[in-house]
Amino acid sequence: MPPDQAPPHRLPDSGRASGGPPAGAGPRAEAGASPLPARLTPREREVLGLVAAGRSNAGIAAELVLSGSAVTKYVNAIFTKLDLRPDPSRNRRVQVVLAYLRETHSSAPPGRTAPER
């Protein structure tokens, strides 16, 4: 299946088509840093895809047959790897979804963009 047609809870394994860090990313996400999928483990990418699909931690735990604490650890690892620190003015879960959407949008084949909603 082409990366731009991956199921909504999966990240494509390709790198970013455009340079620059994901929105909300900190100093570790400088130009030349690894693309989003390369910085995350396969399980973290799977959890991120489910977060992006709007699943709660409990919903993710049920779908992946994990404990709630395991999902919390994966989500926190994603926050750490994307350098998203707690900030009362920003929702880290939303920031992670934006990074996911940017990654999946930029991995569309040349001449093709992700559909607008």
Give, as one character, the DSSP assignment of residue 116: P
pLDDT single digits (tens) 49-97: 999 999 999 999 999 999 999 999 999 999 999 988 999 999 999 999 9
Across-strand partners of 90?
A: 87
Across-strand partners of 66?
A: none
Residue ranges covered by each domain of the chain: 3-106
At 56, the amino acid letter reads S
pLDDT single digits (tens) 92-114: 999 999 988 888 776 555 544 55
**In contact, 84 and 95? CB cutoff 8 Å:** yes
State which H helix or E strand residue 10 sits in. none
| pTM, 2 dp | 0.61
Q: What are phi and psi of 87, to 5 degrees?
A: -150, 120
- The CATH class given to the 3-106 domain equals mainly alpha
**In contact, 40 and 84? CB cutoff 8 Å:** no
User: Helix axis angle, 68-81 relative to 42-52, nearest 10°?
Assistant: 100
Cα dihedral 40, 46, 51, 52, rounded to 10, equals: 90
